[in-house]
Structure 1
Amino acid sequence: MAIGKLERVPLREVWAHEAYDFTAWLEQNIDVVNEALDLEIVNVDREQAAGKFSIDLVGEDASGRKLIIENQLEKSDHDHLGKLITYLTAMQAKAAIWIVREPRPEHVAAIGWLNQALDADFYMVKVEAVRIAGSPAAPLLTLIAGPSEEAKEVGMARKEFAERYAIRNRWWTDLIERSKPKSRLHAHITPGDYSWIGVSSGFRGLNLNYSVKQDSRTAELYIDRGKGCEDENKALFDQLESHKPEIEAAFGGPLRWEGLEGKRACRISMTLTDGGYRSSDELWPALQDSQIDAMIRLEKALKPFILRLKGER
């Protein structure tokens, strides 16, 4: 059996003009895109207006979702990426297909990010022209990047994390303001996005931290002098724990004493389990007040014994 050799043909030899030739051809041969992307694009119209711009192709998929196609018989560039997003927004489309001669890696990555970040499907397709043994040129479309369930799940997870950071920042902003009339201990902290904020107790490696989770919040003394200081941390913790009855009496209740076996740091804490940053907004003031009160009592109970600690300050 004779086997022909596949040859690539310069795109401009097949379609001299991007709009008049390639886009017009694609409008009449949309099945080529359907086969490459496993879609069912129908009702395709060419050169649809989007404000002052003109979209190469606008169509619908089998479920009636509007989609746009932007063609580029050159290397992908920022200008066409911007157009793709602009046209998608202007047409309120649910999918965008970018057909290019040479996809740049940064634009492939951008399409991947868009599939994670937005509630729309983005495709990047490489177009080539090929022939065998002098046959007429034929189109070859290859999917380079497209939507997937995994990408959407990653996108949802990122949105949830972003939302979590924003809520925690608001929690710390409110808590710091509420604490100022009662204690100056954390008054000069900048609200952050993470699950904890803290200040030094005045003794190196001993920090008074607030932490908050979805359904709980904590006031704690966190003991950590850094890498290689496990023995120092444990010695400081043991000195404080030797005064556990006096400290808990001054605090007004039991505390959690965690030597954190196998870990570098140690912790003395009070955790309140009746709510956290996922609690309704109207509960936040009371929840924060009780957390602030726990921190004030903890700092007051520990301070005399921290001042007696043996070790480099």
Structure 2
Amino acid sequence: MQEITKLEPVNSLWDVWSHEAYKFTPWLVEHKHFLEEALNFKLKDLKPETHLSIGGYVDILALHADTDDPVVIENQLGESDQSHCVRLLGYAANTEAKTLVWVAKDFTPYYQSILEWLNETKQLRAYAVAVRAYQARGVFSVDFQTIVEPEHPERSNPKRVTLSTYCAEFYRPVVDRLKREDMHITSKHRWAGRFRSFQSELDNVVYGTHVEDNIANVFVCFGWTEEALDKFKELQKYQEEIDAKIGESLIWMKEGEYSWEGFSHIVLSYNRPFTLIDSDEDLEPVRQWIVKKLLLFREVFHPLV
């Protein structure tokens, strides 16, 4: 019988490619079919390390094979971060490219939300592609997974379903139920993808929810303004009283202490086995929990904020 071996995850992409510019970028150009499969469109005329007249270098500048439209590709071996995000936005501002592709080991919800927001503007088409690496007996294999993509990208497979689709389907009943309770999704500081946010009575303070596999969060988010941060500090004085009214211990996270960068949060978490691809019947308890707890948050926090 032929021997079967197990693929083991590779924790660091640096073990596969020792340098972003000198190893990963040339490999990506040479093996563009991995990226094309994730994007679901063909690329041509890939040019690595392309110099911009205004300054700086694009990791890869390419053309959409069907439309000849420019495509900017920013790639990194680590998890999504601010420097690569800024570069990607800089490329959008200083090239004619309307299609932006960001390739990374993984993407935090914060950076996913930025790309989702870009897609909502309808002015740009933004993609987040995560790279997974595995090995067996010293041989590496890789898998490219689309995490964020435009709502209606050009593609040959119209039935393809992505994370954005699952999130939209999960949240639609939640948003509808909260709207009937006069709790409306907000156009300010609004997250998409795994996040949704809802109005409060104070500028730069929103109620919100976030879902990952096996966890759902509801939260009060305090923005960058001094007024909002002062409100968070003021509420901390009543932490025990607020926890008692909620009936559970909340997580109080100051700015800089949480992965949703740049904000302070008061968070309550739901930990049960579920994924966004589960059936509506299986996801219904999660939706009910989110609606119930957000309404409770409003009842408790509204008099305070």
Q: TM-score, normalised by structure 2?
A: 0.47
More helix by share: 1
Give the greater-gyration-radius structure (CA): 1
